[in-house]
Structure 1
Amino acid sequence: MRTQPVLVYDGDCGFCTASVAFARKWIKPRCEITAQQGAPLEALGITRGRAEYEALWVTPDGRVHGGAQAVAGLLSSAGGGWVVVGALLRLPPMRWIAHGVYRLIAANRHRLPGGTAACALTPRASGSSRGAKPGSA
């Protein structure tokens, strides 16, 4: 069993990469951080589609949390005051607000500082629950 949580993010996205660099420097989470492009997704229990759709937090016992709850996990792992922020993001109504803000940022990350055209998500395919980036299979 894994001993440390894992954050999986989109390493092709400049905004996501800049966010991870910020977290490493200023938040200092106690976790492994890996780009989904090189992550052992199957071993982590996640699909490529989900990893392309949102950041993922995989607990040592294999539970997977996505989006704002992945951010909450990262913050909670850092200790200090970040634990409080992470805990707040898990409680209603902050949980609901955080989810909406995360989805808004994810949908517009190509427009944010550090974002590029590679950051854009295409509309979900009919019947699919996950978005994909242009050129991804």
Structure 2
Amino acid sequence: MTPTSARHWLIWDGACDLCAWSIAWVRKHDRYAAFQAVPFQSLPPELQAQVDPDSFSRGAHVITADGRVLRAGRAALFILEQLGYRWVARILSLPPFVWLVELGYAIVARNRRRLSRWLRLGETHCPR
């Protein structure tokens, strides 16, 4: 990846400690500031129209610089690719791996509050 002025929007659940921990990881590895991370609770109105509001609570979304909307596992794979883990993302994007990524993402997303408690992720571990 090379430096670019185009940024992708990374939309996440600001009330989720596991999500906040994940966003902190993305920010740490985002050398070229490719992502503008924003909780869906604070999403600018012009972006709200691009995504079904009911889907925000079910998974992270990426609105790419060219306007594509990616959700859940596919958004995670896009993030990995943009952060320099291209070969991992490309392999995991192939069937049957992509199906497993989506299934794994759905399981984690459905249980994210429980996982946050089990992993003891709280305000001290999850900079927002």
Which bracket does the TM-score occupy, shorter chain normalised? 0.7 to 0.9
Residue-by-residue CA offset, 1:2-42 (whole Å, 9 max, x unaligned): 922111010110110011112222x3262111111111254
2:10 matched to 1:15? no
Q: Counterparts in 2 of 1:1-137, with a 5 A limit?
A: 3-25=6-28, 27-28=29-30, 30-40=34-44, 42-43=46-47, 45-79=50-84, 82-112=85-115, 113=119, 114=121
Residue by residue over 1:52-110, the C-alpha shift from the partner in whole angstroms, topping out at 9 and shown as x without a partner, is 2210011112111110111111111112xx11122223211110000010011011111
TM-score of the aligned structures, taking structure 2 as reference length: 0.77
Counterpart AA for 1:61: D
Letter in 2 for 1:33: A
Greater fraction helix: 2
- Which sits farther off after the overlay, 90-99 or 38-47? 38-47
Q: 2:126: which partner in 1?
A: none
Higher relative contact order, structure no. (Cα contacts within 8 Å, ≥ 6 residues apart): 2
Most deviating of 2-11 and 69-78: 2-11
Identity %: 31
**Structure 2 gaps, min length 5:** 123-128
> How many positions carry a matched residue from both structures?
111
**Scaled by the length of structure 1, what TM-score is found?**
0.73
Over aligned residues, Cα RMSD in angstroms?
1.9
